[in-house]
Amino acid sequence: MNNTENQTVTRKHSHVEICLHADVGFSGKSAGFDRIELEHNAVPEINFDEIDLSTTFLGRRIGYPLMISSMTGGYEEAGRLNRTIAETAERLQIPLGVGSMRQALENSDYRETFSIVRSMAPSVPVLANIGAPEVARGLSREELMLLTDIIDADALIVHLNPAQELFQPEGSTMFRNLLDKLRRITRMLEVPVVAKEVGCGISASAARRLVEAGVTIIDVAGAGGLSWQKVEEVRYLRQFGEDTRFSPGAIDELLDWGIPTARCLVDIAGLKHTDPSCKDMTVIASGGIRNGIDIAKAIALGADLAASAGALLKALHQERLEETILTWMNDLKAAMFLTGSATIDELRKTRTFLKQG
């Protein structure tokens, strides 16, 4: 393993450690769900036990409107983590994404930490993952096939992370021609491409440009959950001791940079209603999802399903992953009962309001 490959493995391990143990959440803003409330229905005309939480994603019926979002892969311990994640996803019949597969392109040492996911989750949607800097540099057809073949992927996530790369000690900020390269990928691949931010959000205007490039699924991954700028700042400070790259008056705003998740959903819902070219795109809500009420609000604001990585990563390490997901789904079911929504499609029609005060 050369130095670059070893650096990737070390970075992946440190990312998980920092997310678990450091204070890397947004401090100046929330995902926005705390400002939203759902309209109560005093005559729901449904039975709680008959509420159906299933929905469809990537042409498959899934048990709940939740995806276990991209976490890890590419180092030894990641194989164990991904096995548990995949086993849980299979039992609950929900989709999952793997972490960035850049390391799988660099060498074959840890490809089984990704392939274990499909072995343990044969019947649910599984999504491959590669970063925007790799896309901008250019990926060959052979590399794309490798990414999807390793896990027999149902879709490819391209994670958009300019703020993370800006703060990452070894990051790449070469994003020119990304959309052109992305358009080439969507034409070459036989599976859909998901455009996913990593915590700074996708605006309506950015979503329109992504759809024009052939993307069919948008994961807004808005501000309010983990700040990957803060994750990389922790790594930078550990390496260099201090950060003199930015002025004291700017760094706090940069570390909290991003569009709150709820605002992304509202803006993209408006885009779907006004732009015929965007009306069929699938929208995933992630970034600061804390419970099933947040999921209910996200769906009412226009999401097709929700996704979580940070909160579920902590639950995974506490050996409470499945318990946490099922508790969230009971939260969701409660919100559906109180809004008179027997199905996820009915929940999408629920009115939302800004909280007073």
| Residue located via tokens 């760094």 | 251
Query: Which residues does the annotation place in the binding site for Mg(2+)?
Result: 165
Write the pLDDT tens digit of every residue in 241-296.
999 999 998 999 999 999 999 999 999 999 999 999 999 999 999 999 999 999 99
For tokens 């501000």, what's the residue? 223
* Residues in binding site: 11-12, 69-72, 100-102, 129, 164-165, 196, 288-290, 309-310
**Residues 2, 356: Cα–Cα separation, whole Å:** 57
The pLDDT tens digits of the residues spanning 88-135 come to 999 999 999 999 999 899 888 889 999 999 999 999 999 999 999 999
In this prediction, residue 2 carries a pLDDT of 58
Question: According to the model, what pLDDT value does residue 75 have?
Answer: 76
**pLDDT tens digits, one per residue of 145-189:** 999 999 999 999 999 999 999 999 999 999 999 999 999 999 999
| Chain centroid offset of residue 77 CA | 21
Separation in Å, CA 275 to CA 179, 205, 272, 278, 310 = 19, 11, 6, 6, 33
User: What is the extent of the structural domain holding 95?
Assistant: 3-354
pLDDT band at 340 (very low <50, low <70, confident <90, very high): very high
Helix (H) or strand (E) holding 194: strand 193-197
Structural domain count, the chain? 1
Q: Coil, strand or helix: which one is 166?
A: helix
Residue 247, number of CB atoms within 10 A of its CB: 8
pLDDT category at 13 given cuts 50, 70, 90 is confident
CATH of the domain at 168: 3.20.20.70
Contacts of 111 (CB under 8 A, 6+ apart): 104, 150
Q: CA 333 from chain center: how many Å?
A: 22
Asked if residues 294 and 305 have their Cβ atoms less than 8 Å apart, the reply is no
Q: Would you list which residues are annotated within the binding site for substrate?
A: 11-12, 100-102, 164
CA atoms within 13 A on the CB side of 194: 31
25 exposed, middle or buried (CB, 10 Å; 0-12, 13-18, 19+)?
middle
Residues of the binding site for FMN: 69-72, 100, 129, 196, 288-290, 309-310
Phi and psi, residue 354, nearest 5°: -75, 135
